[in-house]
Structure 1
Amino acid sequence: MSTLRGRRIYEAPSPSDGKRVLVDRLWPRGLSKDAAHIDVWPKSLTPSAELRKWYHAQGPDAFEEFSSRYEAELAAPEAAAALDELRKLVAAGPVTLLTASKDVEHSHVAVLLRVLG
């Protein structure tokens, strides 16, 4: 089993999740903090509001362009430091990246999984 995976935050927590990391900038609607079972919430790893809005307007056909722009944002010092911390978590055991996005495969989570993998 992989030590790193992505899931929707609305799915029930699983013992195999390991550390649960919310990688969305905004708290998921309709979910209490107790129900979320979040271990870490590194907001600096999330896409900027501008990029998120741009991608939402473009749709999944723009995923490759979104990925390139997001990877450029991940190179910024604060995001790069958060990415290093996430790498340490992954090295220590299972980590699940959580998002409210309905399409995890075409979200920033997929980019993070690729960058960390």
Structure 2
Amino acid sequence: MDIRLKRAYEPPAASDGRRVLVDRVWPRGLAREAARLDDWARDLAPSAGLRRWFGHDPDRFAGFRERYVEELRACRSQLADLRRTARRGTLTLVYSARDADHNQAVVLAEVLRRGLPRAGA
């Protein structure tokens, strides 16, 4: 599977394949036309409470990952749809966070590639 991550503010490219926004809220200041998105997977984004708790603090990323994976367990059909998309061609998960290493797209890409870990693992 070819799953890529790209910040929403980076220009779209033909090599992006299918572009899916994985934020719950629209990226500030970004015009919809400029984003050139194929889909917006709001339901796969972390809950508002989890986002507030995390606050993009790298020291909380391990806890964020664990809690977010638990939230994703309720989204199995959407995960399966994205996995099918990635098997057919390039899938680019688009996110707006400044930190490229500590955000929900990183966790979501891991889950799409490896599947959901067993509960409690």
Q: TM-score, length-normalised on structure 1?
A: 0.93
Residue 45 of structure 2 corresponds to 46
Deviation at 1:15, TM superposition (A): 1.0
**Higher helix proportion (structure 1 or 2):** 1
Residue 29 of structure 2 corresponds to 30
TM superposition outliers: structure 1 runs of 4+ over 3 Å: none
Q: Is 1:94 aligned with 2:112?
A: no
Q: Quote the RMSD (CA, aligned, Å).
A: 1.1
User: Which amino acid in 2 is paired with 1:37?
Assistant: R
CA distance in 2, matches of 1:98, 1:88: 17
User: Which amino acid in 2 is paired with 1:29?
Assistant: R
Q: Which runs of 5+ in 2 are unaligned?
A: 114-121
Residue 4 of structure 1 corresponds to 3
Question: What are the superposed Cα offsets for residues 79-113 of structure 1, whole Å, 9 maximum, x if unpaired?
Answer: 22111111111011001000110012100111011
Q: Which runs of 5+ in 1 are unaligned?
A: none
CA distance in 1, matches of 2:25, 2:76: 20
Aligned length: 113
Higher relative contact order (CA 8 A, sep 6+): 1
Question: What are the superposed Cα offsets for residues 34-56 of structure 1, whole Å, 9 maximum, x if unpaired?
Answer: 00000011111000000000000
Deviation at 1:75, TM superposition (A): 0.2
CA distance in 2, matches of 1:8, 1:96: 10
Question: For 1:105, what is the secondary structure of its paired residue?
Answer: coil
Q: Percent identity?
A: 45
Q: TM-score, length-normalised on structure 2?
A: 0.90
CA distance in 2, matches of 1:31, 1:109: 18
Residue 15 of structure 2 corresponds to 16
